[in-house]
Structure 1
Amino acid sequence: MHPKTSSALRKVDAISKLLIHTQRLLDGPYRSKLSVSTDLESSLSSCKDQLDYLLRKLEVDFTQQPNGKGRRRDKLLRPFKISSHDLKWPFTKTEAEDIIRRLITAQELINRALQVDQINVVLSVEQKANLEKLPVANGAIFNSFEDEGEPECLPGTRTDLLRDLNTWIADPKETRIFWLCGMAGTGKSTISKALARKLS
């Protein structure tokens, strides 16, 4: 096999395996946890098209093979007055380099996306483990039978405070505790319940 073909095929094979494994992950039961990688589906499709094109072109390479394969090809090509040595590398140097470069770029994008998704999964597992360690206040279980009939914020009230709470929740850089304080009967539990209902 032509050295250029051999090198190109090795790179194509590595990228092809990565594509297959990535596609299996994206088609599998954990798809929802791979939000970054899922956004790269168009890149995966484009990469697959490039690989198909590359493989079709490389199949034209009939250079000398071990175990007499080259001789058999020469025999088949003899009626056309050409030998396997006369067949040329199917790409210009620039075209081959461009295709390989695009595939390697796609491979790097896929690797980075998978790394980001992996970090997100690890953080989510850690967050879940931390939440499970928190003690439960049995008398304050949200949406429980005992919770029925408890007062809630009236529509249009406490909007500024609820907006501040939502902003605090959405920003991971905020302080870890939002201290809701006030005298008994000022609505701390009611506000907490309204927030819990909105987040549930």
Structure 2
Amino acid sequence: MDVLGLLANISQVVDLLVKIGVMCSIYCVDVKKAPGDVRRLLKEVDRLTAVIKELESLLQSPKGSSKLESPSLRQAVFDLRRLLAEMVAKLDLGAKHARAVWPFKKREIHEIFATIERQKANILLNISIEQTSVLLDVHQEIVLSKLRIADAATFDASPDGEQSFCLQGTRSHIIAQIEEWGTNSDSQC
């Protein structure tokens, strides 16, 4: 799946969040003394929508599409889309009764809230990791751009165009060792 696939999943997530918001509004109107869970779900949907919209805008930016798209981010968005689709299906079933019936048990809705929170944290973590990677790349480019170019830094190059040579007294220890190897018949090969 490429960036377009990720953006398509994000669009579907946004559509599902809108549907959940609309359906929760129906429950608030149709169910006298709507449960606190409905209002809490609306708040969670609003928070999640803000995160998803931010991700979408980052992905649609010129460099975001290539830098933020990762397999773990794709999986997190896909898992979130699947969870929201299941929620919409249940909410739709509960709304089809003559009088709307809240379709979630207390324990089930708490598990949904926890899962939404985990998915939201997972998405934010992936965004943070990808942004850190981008920042490290930028930092490396800045550091490398500050390096000066050394004249005659290529192999066998000298600034005067002459043959390179060792200065008097340099590498004397190595030269002495080589001379001893060459002249001493008892030394190592």
Q: How many aligned positions are there?
A: 123
Question: Is residue 2:50 matched to residue 1:14?
Answer: no
Q: Does 1:42 align with 2:75?
A: yes
| Aligned amino acid, residue 125 of structure 1 | V
> Residue 122 of structure 2 corresponds to which residue in structure 1?
109
Give the alignment of 1:20-169 within 5 angstroms.
20-26=53-59, 29-34=63-68, 37-59=70-92, 84=99, 87-140=100-153
TM-score, normalised to structure 1's length? Answer: 0.50
Deviates more, 1:11-20 or 1:42-51: 11-20
Alpha-carbon distance change, 55 to 13 in structure 1, aligned in 2, over 3 angstroms: farther
Distance in 1, Cα, partners of 2:101 & 2:39: 14
Q: Secondary structure at the match of 1:90?
A: coil
Q: CA deviation at 1:105?
A: 0.5
TM-score by length of 2: 0.53
Question: Tell me, which stretches of 5 or more residues in structure 1 are unaligned?
Answer: 63-76, 143-181, 184-200
CA contact under 8 A between 2:58 and 2:65: conserved in structure 1? Answer: yes
| Structure 2 unaligned blocks of 5 or more | 1-27, 29-33, 156-169, 172-189
Structure with higher helix content: 2
1:106 maps to a residue whose letter is Q
Identity of aligned residues (%): 25
Residue 145 of structure 2 aligns with an amino acid whose one-letter code is: E
**What secondary structure is seen at the aligned counterpart in 2 of 1:117?**
helix
Contact 1:43 1:106 in 2 (8 A): yes
Q: What is the distance in 2 between the residues matched to 1:41 and 1:49?
A: 12
Contact (CA 8 Å) 2:94, 2:103: kept in 1 or not? Answer: yes
1:133 Cα deviation after fit: 0.7
